[in-house]
Amino acid sequence: MVGYLEPPSHRGFDSDYTGRFVVKHVNLLTAENPKRCDQPLRPTQVLGNEPFWSLKFDSAKQASFAMMGEDKQSLTLKDRKVTQTTRRYEFDDANLQMSSKLCNDTMSDSIYGWTGVLTMNGQTRQGCATLSNSDTTLNWAGSYVAQSTETAGFTISMTLLPDHTAITRYEYPDDSPATEERGFWQQLNNQQVQVIMTRHQQQYLVSQRIFTLDGNKLVAKQEKVGDIVYPIANGGLVLYKGE
């Protein structure tokens, strides 16, 4: 599935969770994996039948074409153009056009979110396609800490976990119990990450900070609590990623 995260409702069926996933479109639906959501990592690939053939990306610049009864061929990527609904890949002796459209594999019950048309050696082949399911935003994951928060009277740390859950802790110098918030994070673009907290000390409270990458640090200038936006004092909240 491809989509985004948003806060759960206050008293709905999803209220026990830190967030809910909103599906925008399907990448792959299959009953063949008994582990269901625990899918192995898959590359971007196109699969066709009669006879069976496949094109799979082995790396960012290399793909391999295989057809039943023939030797595998390596293809070097020369150019690509990517939009939300189309992808075009140019190789030395082939080109692949992918479109965001549901496709049913005639040999199984799997439903793919993309169709693919491969033109190679003067022949055109059609098949179903799926994008890689690797998470390219995991570079944000890790532990972050404010370098100096003496004037605030507490220290702040933020942990962004690989499963997209997030934890913010406020610790105090007088040994008072730490305050903890839990929620989720998601990338907005290559320079910004959205961190939304939905639990404050296990109580429902939605707050949002958008951090901008600035060299080796994350900076948030504002915090939104409910529907109200507040400026963050002293130039904003500045967090540094730990080793």
Contacts of 143 (CB under 8 A, 6+ apart): 157, 158, 159, 241, 242
CA distance 88 to 94: 11
pLDDT score of 149 more than 60: no
- Give the tokens for residue 5: 């995260």
- Answer whether 117's CB lies under 8 Å from 103's CB: no
pLDDT score of 75 more than 80: yes
CA–chain centroid gap for 19, Å, is: 15
Mean pLDDT in residue range 156-182: 93
- Answer whether 49's CB lies under 8 Å from 127's CB: yes
pLDDT score of 33 more than 80: no
pLDDT score of 150 more than 90: no
CA distance 125 to 137: 33
pLDDT score of 229 more than 90: yes
When the pLDDT of each residue in the chain is averaged and rounded to a whole number, the result is: 91
pLDDT at 202: 86
pLDDT digits 0-9 by tens, 122-135? 999 999 999 999 99
Which is more confident, 172 or 180?
A: 180
Mean pLDDT in residue range 43-67: 94
CA distance 199 to 208: 12
pLDDT digits 0-9 by tens, 175-206? 889 999 999 999 999 999 999 999 999 899 99
Question: Which residues are 230's β-sheet partners?
Answer: 223
- Give the tokens for residue 133: 């399911």
pLDDT at 10: 87
Query: What are the chain's domains?
Result: 28-130 (no CATH), 136-241 (2.40.128.120)
pLDDT digits 0-9 by tens, 94-121? 999 999 999 988 777 889 999 999 999 8
DSSP 139: G
CA distance 169 to 201: 10
Mean pLDDT in residue range 161-167: 97
Degrees, nearest 5: CA angle 161-162-163: 90
Q: Of 55, 97, 46, give the one whose Cα is nearest residue 76.
A: 55
